[in-house]
Amino acid sequence: MTGAQDFFGRTAAAPGRVVLTMADSGRQYSAGEVAGHAGRAAQWLAAQGLQSGDTFAVLLENRIEILELVLAAKLAGLYAAVLSTHLTPPEVAYIVQDCGARLVVASHKTLPQLAELQASHPLPCWTVDAAPLQAASVQAASLQVALQALQGEPVSFAGRPLGRDLLYSSGTTGRPKGVLKALWPAELRGQTDPEALGSARIMGMDEHTVYLSPAPLYHAAPLRYTLRVLELGGQAVIMERFDAETALALIERYRVTHSQWVPTMFGRMLKLPEEVRRRHDLSSHRVAIHAAAPCPVDVKRAMLDWWGDILMEYYAGSEGCGTTMIDSAEWRRRPGSVGRATTGRLHIVDDDGRELPAGEIGQVYFSGGGQFSYLNDPEKTRQAINERGWVSYGDIGHVDAEGYLFLSDRRADLILSGGVNLYPQEIENALLRHPDVYEVAVVGVPHPDFGEQPLAAVVLRQGAPASLATARAIAEQAAEVLARMKLPQRVVFVDALPRLETGKLLRRKLKERFRDEPQAGFALRDS
């Protein structure tokens, strides 16, 4: 398909080289195959009437089609909103409507999650499966059939800007928010992606890179790093789901050079028996990238002792307003740091907007980084940018005299569970739907495997029994609108929540109390 190689490094020169491997099946895809599939998908999207700047939604388990559709969006100058497969039907419906998607691509596994969307806001729905599908009253046409039936003169995308992903993260108001970044200008067509060049420079990625991605592609880092590797002419190995021993075996089998992890994965690999950990040849492994959540100091030390000084940690966000990075040698000298700024300039600011000196704790801001906005939410955008134009992810921390950042808390309210951001307000809104709940506050408490887990402190309405049965009933009703990973693991019934005279919740007081009592209250399931 004309123009397919415009976004895909070295396709024309070596169309037969392997660029993608799906780990579970072992199925491998060549550069020519992926570029051809993406090019046809771009033509199909244009045939559906999508114009430059339009959006379509993708709801798929870890499959090659996610990458092909995002590449197609790039070629056709579109936004691809890639959604988490853990979302409930109401959450899917909200995001698809909020982003203004013109159509949705799903699979036989994810099609039922579109039921509420199709009932309230019907959209053209397509499945990546070989035949049309119907599930949970949702009908979907086959994308494979449509691509094979494409006819006519190919559309030229030469004048269009280059498209990109549109990813959502939950908001403290309880609604997910889309991170909207400007499309790349058309002048960049045929050139290497600037973000890929940054990865090449900092991470040492090139055409010889073999990159292991063990995480879901609906997360920003796995999706974007995989695409950067392809852009640079390397190869990516995609795990459909993470398994600790399988990950080690894949490093050996495919001579993996680069990989990306969250701390929970480190913890699970460290729990493997010593003979299993030592069974696999990891000598090809040069760079192990990790982010998404603070890595416990003891866990990182253990990984360095095992893998050597190949860990590269960064702190950033989907918003892309700034990045810090720290290599293993630097981290050994400053345990717990997430590094110095590599994109933008760091500032620590107090509650009155004054910049603080080294050593003092305040909100972390970046100046001179990337620009973004929250889709359809100018108030949230305004809250992230101060009067000087500095941008914050909302985190708290300090820098030392050499400019190394140490985070005190990843957003005062945010719960980081297994590398996934969980937002208390969204969980609280769901729990408040139960008639026995008078007030509720959700906080993160320590968990040995996931880092944190959500605990709900509930004030019951008068007469409601403070029992395990009540706790389960509250959680079961919340499960109607919340993904499983967002449900509280424990419920504690309390007489009152700590508040200021103004009514503001002192969530910090609850966190301090239950940090030392993580097993308080009723357990809702084994954790």
Residue the block writes with tokens 């991470």: 203
Q: Compute CA distances 245 → 251, 270, 277, 310, whole Å.
A: 10, 10, 8, 19
In this structure, are 180 and 59 located in the same domain? yes
In this structure, are 132 and 204 located in the same domain? no
Q: Is the four-CA dihedral 6, 56, 179, 67 of positive or negative sign?
A: negative
Task: Tell which of 366, 381, 409 closes a domain.
Answer: 409
How far is Cα 462 from Cα 220, in angstroms, rounded to an integer? Answer: 45
Q: Which two tokens mark 450?
A: 């996931």
Task: Tell which of 373, 392, 409 closes a domain.
Answer: 409
In this structure, are 373 and 475 located in the same domain? no
Per-residue model confidence (pLDDT) at position 422: 81
Question: Whole-model pTM?
Answer: 0.82
Rounded CA Rg of the chain:
23
Query: What does the angle CA 355 – CA 358 – CA 362 come to, to the nearest 5 degrees?
Result: 50
In this structure, are 240 and 154 located in the same domain? no
Indicate which CATH number applies to the domain containing 49: 3.40.50.980
Per-residue model confidence (pLDDT) at position 247: 98
In this structure, are 404 and 421 located in the same domain? no
Q: Answer whether residue 137 is part of any domain.
A: yes
In this structure, are 267 and 174 located in the same domain? no
In this structure, are 103 and 142 located in the same domain? yes
**In total, how many domains does the chain have?**
3
Indicate which CATH number applies to the domain containing 461: 3.30.300.30
Per-residue model confidence (pLDDT) at position 526: 58
How far is Cα 462 from Cα 429, in angstroms, rounded to an integer? Answer: 20
Q: Answer whether residue 122 is part of any domain.
A: yes
How far is Cα 79 from Cα 86, in angstroms, rounded to an integer? Answer: 21
Per-residue model confidence (pLDDT) at position 187: 92
Q: pLDDT of the chain along its 527 residues, tens only?
A: 334 444 455 555 688 999 999 999 999 999 999 999 999 999 999 999 999 999 999 999 999 999 999 999 999 999 999 999 988 899 899 999 999 999 999 999 999 999 999 999 999 999 999 999 998 889 999 999 999 999 888 999 999 999 999 998 754 345 788 999 999 999 989 888 888 888 899 999 999 999 999 999 998 899 999 999 999 999 999 999 999 999 999 999 999 999 999 887 898 899 899 999 999 999 999 999 998 777 878 889 999 999 999 999 999 988 889 999 999 999 999 999 999 999 999 999 988 899 999 999 889 999 998 889 999 989 889 989 999 999 998 888 899 999 999 987 555 577 878 878 787 878 888 898 899 998 899 999 888 888 888 999 999 988 999 999 999 999 999 999 898 889 999 999 999 988 754 455 778 788 888 887 878 889 887 54
Q: Of 481, 478, 464, 463, which is closest to residue 524 (Cα–Cα)?
A: 478
In this structure, are 250 and 368 located in the same domain? yes
Per-residue model confidence (pLDDT) at position 448: 84
Q: Compute CA distances 325 → 69, 202, 257, 396, 398, whole Å.
A: 30, 9, 19, 17, 15
Read off the DSSP letter of residue 485: G
**SS3 breakdown of the chain: % helix, strand, coil, rounded to 5?**
30, 25, 45
Query: What does the angle CA 104 – CA 418 – CA 478 come to, to the nearest 5 degrees?
Result: 65
Q: Answer whether residue 66 is part of any domain.
A: yes
Q: Answer whether residue 20 is part of any domain.
A: no
* Amino acid (1-letter code) at residue 213: S
How far is Cα 311 from Cα 301, in angstroms, rounded to an integer? Answer: 10
In this structure, are 303 and 451 located in the same domain? no
Indicate which CATH number applies to the domain containing 255: 3.40.50.12780
Task: Tell which of 409, 442, 477 closes a domain.
Answer: 409
Instruction: Spell out the residues 6+ positions from residue 503 whose beta carbon is closer than 8 angstroms to its own.
Output: none
Residue 348 phi/psi, 5-degree rounding, is -110, 125
Per-residue model confidence (pLDDT) at position 177: 87
In this structure, are 491 and 352 located in the same domain? no
In this structure, are 209 and 181 located in the same domain? no
Q: Answer whether residue 251 is part of any domain.
A: yes
Q: Answer whether residue 21 is part of any domain.
A: no
Q: Which domain holds residue 429?
A: 415-523
Alpha helices in 114-164 (DSSP H): 115-120, 143-148
In this structure, are 437 and 396 located in the same domain? no
